Homo-oligomer: A and B are copies of this chain.
């Protein structure tokens, strides 16, 4: 951990943390600092108007703040152009947009789509639906015993010339940080289009989409200190230009006639209807906040926490911990306690004011692969402390006492 990283000072920014709860469910949704709430408040109270459509000052101010947030996201991802930054509701909508628009235009019968067994349902179900509709095939890259993707399998699948390769930057169950740069390079070299699920990557690692070379990258505002109801789809301009619109309606048009329509240029083409204006502005403030702390510092903080936690949890008898060593993982730890169902663990921990996730984490195929019906998952963020991890361990011991 960096000497200058003052987690206690950062915690002061997060209203919910003041309740005293040890919030260890940030991979599910993060807390939001008052800087984000205040940015939204400023919109609601100071220039609460719709964007793009009107020519008075409040509307222009709203448009400026909304488009300014897009510029922040562009810089955050180092995208080449602001036209490549599409507002969505979240990662799920971003992936579905690609499946509907790019997928229905480009995937044909017999095409191969490569996924991995650690994908979130949001990066599986849209492809199942598309594959069924088009008669395409799905194939999954497995994990090894450490919870790392089997790169040998991945290479073998690439030799089959997949049309599309989709994988997560960071596993929301195992915490595994995938070698996304190398995987993207291999997949591109094999001629595939590459979509990276950045839901867990953007908040903790960030990405340089140009350097990475991926075609699509989706993430959610609510996991990166931003509000609910907003997310981002990055798409390479060339692809976005060629894609048909996803939803039709206001703002995504240039001219509507009774029987046909000219669509608006990017990014509006993919932003039909009134957008989540306050939420986009809040996301801009969240990006500012996270970049203010620094992605490198956040990642170092989380990796130190993961190391500390893995060490402490290894002392808890009867506890199985999934995933790779701390060096290759983000601040996500999934566990299975012999004789105590994760739901019971979660309930007991809650009575210790420790909040964790119990369930399949929206990764049922991975659960099946790991041989458990569910896990108990603790996940960290920039505001997590060692003391909270100590409370987690104490809670686990208490659960063992109760069920013992």
Q: A: which residues have CB within 8 A of B?
A: 15-16, 19, 21, 23, 25, 28-29, 31-32, 37, 41, 44-50, 53-59, 89-93, 95-96, 99-100, 117, 120-122, 124-126, 128-129, 138, 140, 220, 222, 227-230, 245-253, 255-261, 272-279, 343, 346-347, 349-350, 355-359, 362, 364-365, 368
B54 A357 Cβ-Cβ under 8 A:
yes
Given contacts A21-B58, A228-B276, contact A357 B53 (CB under 8 A): yes
A96 B28 Cβ-Cβ under 8 A:
no
- Partner of A129 from the list B46, B93, B248 (CB cut-off 8 Å) is B248
Measured CB to CB, the closest approach of chain B to A37, in angstroms, equals 6
Residues in chain B near residue A50, CB distance under 8 A = 25, 28-29, 222
B274 A90 Cβ-Cβ under 8 A:
yes
Given contacts A16-B44, A258-B140, A261-B128, contact A250 B346 (CB under 8 A): no
Interface-centre pick from A21, A125, A273 (highest chain B CB count, 10 A): A273
A109 CA to B233 CA, complexed, in Å: 33
Given contacts A362-B250, A365-B258, contact A28 B49 (CB under 8 A): yes
A257 CA to B358 CA, complexed, in Å: 19
A53 CA to B377 CA, complexed, in Å: 12
A352 CA to B392 CA, complexed, in Å: 60
Q: Can you list 5 residue pairs at the A/B interface with Cβ under 8 Å?
A: A31-B48, A32-B48, A121-B248, A126-B248, A251-B362
B49 A25 Cβ-Cβ under 8 A:
yes
A121-B248, A228-B278 given; name 8 further pairs at CB < 8 Å: A56-B346, A92-B250, A93-B272, A93-B273, A126-B249, A220-B274, A228-B229, A257-B365
Given contacts A92-B247, A140-B258, A356-B56, contact A121 B45 (CB under 8 A): no
A89 B92 Cβ-Cβ under 8 A:
no
A248 B45 Cβ-Cβ under 8 A:
no
A42 CA to B79 CA, complexed, in Å: 35
A315 CA to B140 CA, complexed, in Å: 72
Measured CB to CB, the closest approach of chain B to A75, in angstroms, equals 23
Find the B residue at minimum CB distance from A344: B55
Interface-centre pick from A37, A227, A258 (highest chain B CB count, 10 A): A258
B45 A278 Cβ-Cβ under 8 A:
no
- Partner of A346 from the list B54, B255, B347, B362 (CB cut-off 8 Å) is B54
Residues in chain B near residue A276, CB distance under 8 A = 89, 228-229, 276, 279
A250 CA to B29 CA, complexed, in Å: 13
Interface-centre pick from A37, A55, A100 (highest chain B CB count, 10 A): A55
Given contacts A48-B32, A93-B247, A278-B227, contact A253 B56 (CB under 8 A): no
Measured CB to CB, the closest approach of chain B to A59, in angstroms, equals 7
A59 CA to B56 CA, complexed, in Å: 41
- Partner of A54 from the list B90, B125, B359 (CB cut-off 8 Å) is B359
Residues in chain B near residue A96, CB distance under 8 A = 246-249, 272
B122 A248 Cβ-Cβ under 8 A:
yes
Residues in chain B near residue A259, CB distance under 8 A = 128, 138
Given contacts A256-B364, A278-B228, A357-B53, contact A90 B273 (CB under 8 A): yes
B260 A128 Cβ-Cβ under 8 A:
yes
Residues in chain B near residue A41, CB distance under 8 A = 37
- Partner of A250 from the list B16, B44, B120 (CB cut-off 8 Å) is B120
Given contacts A250-B121, A272-B96, A273-B92, contact A350 B55 (CB under 8 A): yes
Given contacts A28-B49, A44-B16, contact A121 B249 (CB under 8 A): yes
A350 CA to B89 CA, complexed, in Å: 32
A301 CA to B133 CA, complexed, in Å: 51
Interface-centre pick from A58, A228, A358 (highest chain B CB count, 10 A): A228
